[in-house]
């Protein structure tokens, strides 16, 4: 079984794959905060880990205090770190929920959101569950919401299919970034179709092993 608290240690190495992925994700989050209309902003992050991608941006962005965020993470150690980081940054509107993000019940009260983050998920679930999760994403989105997602590109590279699944369900691709080594990718997709109603009790995914 993967030790998800130990897994985060790679963030401390600037040359690691995780650090490079973090830089790409944070860049898209900052850009979205720059252009969103004035007013409150809702953000939800599934399998948020220690929340470094979100908290690291909200702590310093001029609009960080306008964001009401729910970060959902199952590992108690990661939850404790995320809570500490949010507290130290003075982010009172960042909720850290210890729960299984693979069940839609954990999203109730936090959606529809203008920013939806499903980073670090698609490399740990089956292709079928990736497709099912993408299909369900409009139920987490406000009109025009931005979804950020990540996936490795190990053969057979699934990212072309994932991108097509987003298109089929009513998203427009805003960006698809690949790390310099070609291994890691970060997608940014904008909902141009209609949002959907959240279906409580729906199982979206269950982590298996690294795929």
Q: What are 114-170's pLDDT values in tens digits? A: 999 999 999 999 999 999 999 999 999 999 999 999 999 999 999 999 999 999 999
**209 in any annotated domain:** no
Total number of domains constituting the chain: 1
| Stretches in the chain below the pLDDT threshold 50 | 210-211
* pLDDT for the residue 132: 98
* Tokens at 107, concatenated: 């999203």
* C-alpha distances in Å from residue 207, one per residue of 109, 111, 132, 168, 204: 24, 23, 14, 25, 10
Q: Which domain holds residue 75?
A: 4-191
What angle (nearest 5°) sits at the alpha carbon of residue 79, between those of residues 97 and 162? 75
**200 in any annotated domain:** no
**116 in any annotated domain:** yes
**210 in any annotated domain:** no
- State the CATH number of the domain containing residue 111: 3.40.50.150
CB 23 within 8 A of CB 119: no
* pLDDT for the residue 78: 96
* pLDDT for the residue 1: 65
Judge residue 132's burial from the number of C-beta atoms within 10 Å of its C-beta, 0-12 exposed, 13-18 middle, 19 or more buried.
middle
pTM of the model: 0.95
**61 in any annotated domain:** yes
* pLDDT for the residue 59: 98
**199 in any annotated domain:** no
**144 in any annotated domain:** yes
* pLDDT for the residue 18: 84
**208 in any annotated domain:** no
* Bond before 156 cis per omega within 30 degrees: yes
């Amino acid at each position: 079984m993967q030790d998800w608290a130990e897994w985060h240690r790679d963030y401390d190495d600037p040359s690691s794959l995780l650090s490079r992925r973090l830089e790409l994700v944070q860049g898209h989050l900052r850009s979205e905060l720059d252009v969103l209309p004035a007013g409150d902003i809702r953000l939800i992050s599934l399998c948020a880990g220690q929340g470094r991608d979100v908290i690291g941006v909200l702590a310093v962005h001029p609009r960080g205090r306008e964001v009401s965020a729910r970060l959902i993470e199952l590992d108690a150690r990661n939850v404790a770190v995320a809570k500490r980081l949010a507290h130290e940054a003075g982010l009172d509107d960042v909720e850290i929920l210890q729960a299984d993000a693979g069940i839609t019940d954990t999203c109730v009260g936090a959606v529809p959101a203008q920013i939806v983050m499903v980073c670090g998920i698609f490399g740990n679930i089956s292709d079928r569950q990736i497709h099912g999760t993408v299909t369900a994403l409009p139920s987490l989105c406000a009109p025009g919401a931005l979804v950020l997602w990540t996936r490795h590109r190990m053969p057979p590279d699934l990212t072309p299919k994932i991108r097509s699944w987003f298109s089929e369900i009513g998203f427009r691709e805003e960006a698809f970034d690949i790390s310099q080594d070609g291994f890691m990718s970060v997608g940014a997709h904008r909902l141009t179709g209609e949002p959907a109603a959240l279906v409580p009790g729906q199982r979206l995914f269950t982590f298996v092993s690294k795929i």
